[in-house]
Chain A
Amino acid sequence: DIQMTQFPSSVSASVGDRVTITCRASQDIGTWLAWYQHKPGKAPKFLIFEAHTLQSGVPSRFRGGGSGTEFTLTINSLQPEDFASYYCQQVQRLPLTFGGGTKVEIK
């Protein structure tokens, strides 16, 4: 199975800050990576696919990057609605696997 390691596991930030989350794959997955946002009690939200392509309707302050084994999700100018957990997921090979998640909390 492809292991996905995500860090940090949590980050405290203020509105207007820039936050970067890193996701590392145990083997080369090209750009077969998605990012999701998840708030407690809500349906997860699809943010980015193919590592860097923004899903329709997702604000441009979200940016995905990377390829191979190292990936990043950057949130520029953090907004109040961005406080949530974020997960990377590889779709290069079954079983699909997620990173452990990053909780973005209000400082």
Chain B
Amino acid sequence: EVQLVESGGGLVKPGRSLRLSCSASGFTFGNYGMSWFRQAPGKGLEWVGFISSKPYGGTADYAPSVKGRFTISRDDSKSIAYLQMNSLKADDTAVYYCGKDWGSGSGSYYVDYWGQGAQVTVSS
């Protein structure tokens, strides 16, 4: 059974950093791209970024709203994807979700499994 569990959320002051982890099980992690999304209070879903599998470069792409501040990485030996968030703003307050790409290989950008989410609150 595929499982994704986010951790590392919490309350952080504006300008500070936080790193989220997405621990995966139930599939060959290294074969799949991984995505991050968020949902701000009262808002809809927003794509944050995507990292491809290592055989396809292991490169990441980001939403314009987080580019230059957030970094996605992966540790295939531990089956964990990370979201490093720097220079956090109040607007980054949201529930953050990780997701497994539906297709192995270069990535389809469809997400067939999602985690339950981690709350990140940015406030002084």
Contact = CB atoms under 8 A, between A and B. Distances in A.
Interface of A: 1, 34, 36, 38, 41-46, 49, 55, 85, 87, 89, 91, 94-101
Given A36-B45, A87-B44, A46 B63 contact: no
B45 A46 contact: no
A98 B115 contact: no
B44 A43 contact: no
B20 to A, nearest CB: 15
Given A49-B102, A95-B63, A34 B45 contact: no
Contacts of B44: 85, 87, 98-101
Interface stretch (B11-19, B68-76, B84-92, B104-112): B104-112
Interface residues of B, number: 23
A96 B109 contact: yes
A49 B111 CA distance: 9
Interface string B30-73: 00000000000000111100100000000001111000000000
What secondary structure prevails in chain A residues at the interface with B?
A: loop
A1 B63 CA distance: 10
Given A36-B111, A41-B116, A94-B61, 8 more contacts: A38-B45, A43-B114, A46-B102, A49-B110, A91-B110, A95-B64, A96-B109, A100-B44
What secondary structure prevails in chain B residues at the interface with A?
A: strand
A44 B97 contact: yes
A36 B62 CA distance: 21
Contact of A91 (B45, B99, B109, B114): B109
Contacts, number: 59
A96 B47 contact: yes
A34 B103 CA distance: 14
Contact of B108 (A85, A91, A99): A91
B47 A95 contact: yes
Nearest to B35: A96
B111 A46 contact: yes
A46 B64 contact: no
B35 to A, nearest CB: 8
Given A89-B45, A99-B44, A43 B109 contact: no
